[in-house]
Structure 1
Amino acid sequence: MPHAIEYDAFGDPEVLEFREIERETPGAGQVLVEVRAVGVNPIDWKIRSGRRASGAITAPRRIGSDAAGVVIAVGDGVGDWVIGDEVIVSGAKGAYATEVLAPAAKLARKPAALGWETAAALPIPVATAHQVLTSLGVSEGDTFLLHGGSGAVGQAAIQLARRLGATIIATASEPNHARVRELGAIPISYGPGLADRVRAVAPNGVDVALDGAGTDEAIEVSKQLVADPDRIGTIVLGARAAELGIRAWSGGNPIPLTPEEQQLRIDAVPLAADLAANGEFDVEIAARYPLAEAADAHRQSEAGELRGKIILVP
C-alpha cells in the first residue's frame, strides 16, 4: 500500500506522521504518480507550523507540492501523458508520499539525463524566480540586487538573471560567497553598511531589487537604492507589501497571482529542466532524508543553516 506524511494539528515537526494510505484513483485532468523524490520547501513547514494561514484542519492533512516520479494511472481527459512517463510534479497536494495525485496541466516532462532528485528540487524555486524576474522586468543591462542569494530561490534567480544579461549583486553570508560567485553574481555580506557596500560595487546605481531574505534591512536598502518602487519586490513579506509600498508575489500576499503569473510559473519548470539536463543550470542538493524522516528534514529546513535544497526519498 502507498504511504504519505500526514498531520492532524498545527505544531512542531513532531506532528508529522508516516502513515499507510488508500491508493487514489485519478479524476478528470489528473494523473497518479509513483514518487521517486520530493522537494522540501520553506512554505511546507510554515503551513505545518501554522505560521502561514491555511484554514482549519478538519481531517488528516498531507503536505508538499513538488516531486518527480513515474505516471502509473491517468484520469479522463488527459491526452498528454501515458503510464510510464517520467514527470516533474508541481502544485500537487500531498507530495510527501510514495504516490501522489497531480494536475496533468502542471506536469513537466523529466528529461532522461536529469536525475530524480534534481528534478524534484526544481518546481517552486525556479517557478518563483522565473515569474518574479519577468514581473520585475529584469533584462539585459540591468543591475539587479538580490537579497538572499544562496537559498534555492536565490540560486535559481542568479542563474536565470544572468541568462537575461543582468549584472547581479547578491547578499549572502561569508561562507556562501564562493557559491554565489560561482553562479555568476557579485557576493556581498548583509548587515550594517550594506547600502554602502552595494554602492561600492554598483557605482552606476541599482535598477531592480528582490527581497528573498525577509529582513527590514533588505527592504530599507532596496528602497534607498532603487528609484522605482515598482521594480522592488518581495517573496517573503507579501503580507506587508502594501504597507511597504513595494510589489509582492506569494509570501503571504493577499493578492493572488494573475493567470499570466501562474503561467510563467508553469513554463519555468520545463525551461529549467532542459537547461539542467544540458548542464546549463545547477541545482545544489543540501541534504537527503528518507520520506519517513520528514520531521527531521523540517527541523533542518527551519534552522536555516543549509544552502540549497532538501530532498525526501521514498
Structure 2
Amino acid sequence: MRAMAYETYGGTEVLKEASLPIPKVAPGEVLVRVESAGVNPVDWKIMAGGLDGLMDVMYPVVPGWDVAGRIARVGIDVPEFAEGDEVVAYARKDYIHGGTFAEYVSVPVRALARKPASLDWDQAAGLPLAGLTAYQLLTRLGTGPADTVLVHGAAGGVGSFGVQIATSFGARVIGTASAHNHERLRGLGCEPVEYGEGLADRVRALAPDGVSVVADFVGGVLDVTLAVLAEGGRHASIADHSVMGAGGQWMWVRPSGRDLTELGRLADAGQLTVTVARTFPLGALAEAFELSQAGHTAGKIVIKI
C-alpha cells in the first residue's frame, strides 16, 4: 500500500512516500480503507520526538491518528461491524507505528464509530481527535445547562468544538479569541472576548458572578482562570499540567467509539459542524504539516487518500 512514513525523528524532511505491507488485522480490530485522514499538531510533534518519553516507537512510522473510511476487512470477534461499513476513528494505539496517512490502517474496535451521515469524508476525518478532546474535557467537568463556560482558545480546532458541544449541553459559553474570529464564534453560539491584557476584566463584565466551568485548550492562562472562576467552579486544561496544583484537572484524549458516536449524533442533529480549511493529497503531507505548524488555519487540515 502507499503510505507516508519516516525512519527517524526529525522535521518534515524525514517524511517519505513508501510502499508498505497492508496491516494485519488482529482480533478485535478492523482494517479500514482510508478515504481521508485529519492532520493534528500531535502528528508532527511525535515525528519530532515530542512523545519519546511516553510512547514506544516501531519504525517505519506511518503518522496520523484521525481517519474516515470504509471497512475492508473485519477481524475475529467484531460482530458490531461488517465489510463496507463507513466509519471514523481516533485510531491511536499503544505504541507509535501504523497510522492513518496510508491507504489502509488497522483500528481497534473500541475506537471505532459509524461515520455521521451529515458529514462528508473530509469533515468526518477532521472530527475524532479534536472533537473527542473537547467532549471528554467538558463531560468530565459535568458541564450542563446550569453552567456558564469559559473556553480559552475558542477559535482553535479543539476550542471551536468545545464551544459547540457546550452549547449543545445547554450551557452559556464565553470564548477567548482574536477580534477577527469573533463573528464566526457568534455564529457557533459563543459570546467572544478578545484575549490579552485585561481579559479577566472583560470576562467579569459578561459574567459578574464568575463562570462555573473553564475549559483551557491553549495553556498559560491559569491566572485568568482563577480570577474568573466562581466559588465551587470546575476547570481543566489539555495544555497546562500546573492546573492540578490549583484544583483543576489535566487531561489528554482517549480513543472511544462510544464518545465518537455521540459526536456523530450531534453532527447529524445539526448541533456540530466541522470546518475544513484545506485538503492535500497523500504525497503532500509535508506541506500539510508545515501549514499546521504555522498555526494560522481556521479549520481542519485533511489528507485525501
Per the normalisation by structure 1, the TM-score is 0.89
SS of corresponding position for 1:24: coil
Indicate the residue corresponding to 1:182 in structure 2: 187
1:234 maps to amino acid:
S
Alignment size in residue pairs: 299
**3-state SS of 2:149 partner:** strand
Equivalent position of 2:60 in the other structure: 60
User: Alpha-carbon deviation of 1:31?
Assistant: 0.8
Q: 2:28 & 2:83 partners in 1: Cα distance?
A: 14
Report the alpha carbon displacement of residue 267 of structure 1 after superposing the two structures with TM.
2.4
1:54-203 correspondence to structure 2 within 5 Å: 54-55=54-55, 57=57, 59-92=59-92, 93-203=98-208
Residues of 1 paired with 2:165 and 2:150: CA distance? 14
User: Which blocks of at least 5 consecutive residues in structure 1 are unaligned?
Assistant: 251-256
Q: 2:250: which partner in 1?
A: 248
Q: Mind listing any 5+ residue stretches in structure 2 that lack a counterpart? A: 93-97
Conserved 8 A contact 2:37-2:303: yes
User: Larger deviation: 26-35 or 2-11?
Assistant: 2-11
Give, in angstroms, the shift of residue 153 of structure 1.
Answer: 1.1
Runs of 4+ in 1 over 3 A off after TM superposition: 52-58, 227-230, 240-245
Deviation, structure 1 residue 36: 0.3
Tell me if the contact between 2:28 and 2:109 (Cα under 8 Å) persists in the aligned partners: yes
Q: CA deviation at 1:244?
A: 5.1
Aligned partner of 1:253 in structure 2 is none
**Aligned equivalents of 1:275 and 1:136: distance in 2?**
19
CA contact 1:25–1:73 (8 Å) conserved in 2: no
Question: Equivalents in 2 of 1:44, 1:300: separation in Å?
Answer: 13
Give 1:52 shift: 3.2
2:294 to 283, 300, 303: 303
**In proportion to residue count, which structure has more strand?**
2
Kept in 1, the 8 Å contact 2:148–2:212? The answer is yes
Task: Tell me the equivalent position of 2:46.
Answer: 47
Tell me the distance in 2 between the aligned counterparts of 1:107 and 1:58: 23
User: By percentage of residues, which structure has more helix?
Assistant: 1
Q: TM-score, normalised by structure 2?
A: 0.92
The Cα of 1:141 is off from its aligned counterpart by 2.3
Could you tell me how far apart the structure 2 residues matched to 1:58 and 1:285 are? 31
Q: Aligned Cα RMSD in Å?
A: 1.9
Instruction: State the identity %.
Output: 38
| 1:15 maps to amino acid | V
SS at match of 1:32: strand
